[in-house]
Structure 1
Amino acid sequence: MRVALCNIENLATQPAILQVLEAHKDEIKLVITSDPYSKKNGGFIAQAYKNMRFRGYGFTEYLFAKMVFLSVIRPLLKLIGMDVLPSIEQRCNELGITYIKVEDINDASVVQLLKDQQIDLLSIYYFDQILHDEIIDVPSNGVVNFHPAYLPKCRGLFPIMFSYLYNEQNYGISAHWVENKEIDSGPVIAQSAIKVSNAKCLLEIDRKVSNHFPALYTQVLEILQNQQVNASVQAQQSSYYSYPQKAQLRELNETLPLINWCWVLRALGTKSTHYVDKQVSKPN
């Protein structure tokens, strides 16, 4: 099976994505990343101003630490000899995997590339663009999104944050079919329920949840390759959250900081080629 993988490069998911690339280098033929600060999205300055105005400094700092800091600081850390997490592009080049960064996943050139690469499965983890029918229809085996929440709870944006606030800190990753433009609503193929303890900040919880992604990814690929899919329609008792409001961020900060810079600095490096520690998750 020829697989494509979509992701936004970020500090929370980077070790897990690197491990998936290593483990499935024979199946993954194409990696597509998105630039959340592209001109199409208004650029970094405009987005930072908007977040500062409507959500405050703390949330803006959290997004910077999560989405930007690693790529900015990586060249300096390499100069001083630190063993830093490589970029997705670098690892793809080393493994011989085609890599592209796109502003619009639905562009005709991307559709054609998927066809040229004869992609059977399009897989998604932490991606900020909604797929249109032209993209969804290309892979012969369909599109699977890995959403970092235990669906049907906490669909939408920032699922780790809202799982902490409104799902009794019950975290998870759910693999579901993408059949249309509806967000995180397709039939569930497999799930992992995840418990996180002793986290110093929200970003650390995000990393710990994402560390379970490689195991579920392997499980789902095996299910699809063995044609043993038994997907279940999501229950109607779902919840959906978009960007957090200031009141929700204040509620979070009463018990958990968004980031801890000591943790962030430690999280930049890697001590092994496996990138993430082995995690124990509970499949459903």
Structure 2
Amino acid sequence: MYRIALFNVDCFSSARSIQEIIIKHHDQIKLVVLSDPVKTKRGNLFYQTYVNFKASGLRFVCYLFLNFVVHPKMTKISHWLGRIVKKHPTYYSIDYLCKKYDIQCIKTGNINSTEVEEMLKKLSIDLITIYYFDQIIKENIISIPKYGVINFHPAWLPYCRGLHPVMYSIIKNNAKFGMTAHEITDERIDAGDILHQKEINITDADQKYIFKVESDVVYQGVEVYDDVISNLESFKERSRKQTEGSYFSHPSRADVKDLLNKGYQIISPVGFWRLYRLRKSSVLPPGGQYQEDSNCTPKS
């Protein structure tokens, strides 16, 4: 069994997936490192909002705000409402799950910091897995785990490397969705040897809301994570180099317009709220009962 560190940025797009991964692999996951998107080198929230508005427009800024800023707050609200009405939330917060399974959890705006490096060494992490993350890791982190660093990228590599791969799969790759597991051995972005891929089909007639599409693609990709963790050495023996492909960063206003012209909806506050519905039954952690998580704050 590996001693795994899981890197993620807490957001709606990966919420179901990370919940599933932690529940399934909690016996191997020893550390969860969450990116703090408003404390990275990209600048504070107000500066990032200005830059993204200028480049991509209001709709895209609202998408980012709901995904990365509102979502973590909504999980707390859904827990609070659940306690009142005696129902379970659709999404458990990452800190709640980490506390339940006694997993260390830290949040950082600099994944290559001394704090992260020392924590990886202290916990004897021998495999780093990256699942929906927004920072580039450097050699001081890459060199630590014995079994390497594996990134799970929600696109059919080598196409749609970089940011917002699901969105660009729609705009630039004829809506061909996928999840690709690849090695990270240097600072190149999404360019390492491919270990495993799965093509993902999104067929629902109402799958035109970008949050729903992203969430479903990333969630179906959990199967790739499970396969790789169970058979890592076998996949490494069959790995293959990437060639050609494409890379994208934040979308331009023209890209956003193209997405809209294809019939996709980027922002719907009402639709977003409905995704946090409470329910009488829920996929609880094994053997678990719904608990209050007011004390489940990440360790810093």
> Taking structure 2 as the reference length, what is the TM-score of the superposition?
0.86
Could you tell me which of 84, 88, 91 is aligned with 1:83?
Answer: 88
SS of aligned partner of 1:41: coil
Any unmatched runs of 5+ in structure 2?
286-300
Letter in 2 for 1:44: L
Give 1:125 shift.
Answer: 1.0
Letter in 2 for 1:272: S
Residue in 2 that maps onto 1:5 = 6
Residue in 2 that maps onto 1:200 = 208
Could you tell me which of 251, 261, 278 is aligned with 2:258?
Answer: 251
Indicate yes or no: 2:151 matched with 1:150. Answer: no
Give 1:103 shift.
Answer: 1.5
Structure 1 vs Structure 2 CA RMSD: 1.8
Instruction: Identify the range of structure 1 (129-138 vs 64-73) with the bigger mean alpha-carbon deviation.
Output: 64-73
Give 1:2 shift.
Answer: 0.7
SS of aligned partner of 1:216: helix
Residues 177-222 of structure 1 deviation map (CA, whole Å, 9 limit, x = unaligned)? 0010000000001011001123131111100101113211110011
CA distance in 2, matches of 1:133, 1:4: 16
Residue in 2 that maps onto 1:217 = 225
Indicate yes or no: 2:141 matched with 1:138. Answer: no
Give 1:225 shift.
Answer: 5.9
Is the Cα–Cα contact under 8 Å of residues 11 and 268 in structure 1 kept in the other structure? no
Seq. identity, %: 33
CA distance in 2, matches of 1:153, 1:110: 30
Indicate yes or no: 2:256 matched with 1:229. Answer: no
SS of aligned partner of 2:166: helix
SS of aligned partner of 2:32: strand
Count of residue correspondences: 274
CA distance in 1, matches of 2:36, 2:252: 24
Is the Cα–Cα contact under 8 Å of residues 39 and 108 in structure 2 kept in the other structure? no
> Taking structure 1 as the reference length, what is the TM-score of the superposition?
0.91
SS of aligned partner of 2:13: coil
Could you tell me which of 256, 272, 282 is aligned with 1:272?
Answer: 282
Residue in 2 that maps onto 1:23 = 24
Letter in 1 for 2:269: W
CA distance in 2, matches of 1:194, 1:274: 26
Letter in 2 for 1:136: I
Residues 15-56 of structure 1 deviation map (CA, whole Å, 9 limit, x = unaligned)? 110110010011111100001111643221221122222211
What is the correspondence of 1:31-70 to structure 2 with a 5 Å cutoff? Answer: 31-38=32-39, 40-70=41-71
18 and 74 in structure 1: CA distance in 2 versus 1, 3 angstrom threshold? closer
CA distance in 1, matches of 2:170, 2:244: 18
Any unmatched runs of 5+ in structure 1?
276-284
CA distance in 1, matches of 2:44, 2:31: 26
Residue in 2 that maps onto 1:107 = 113
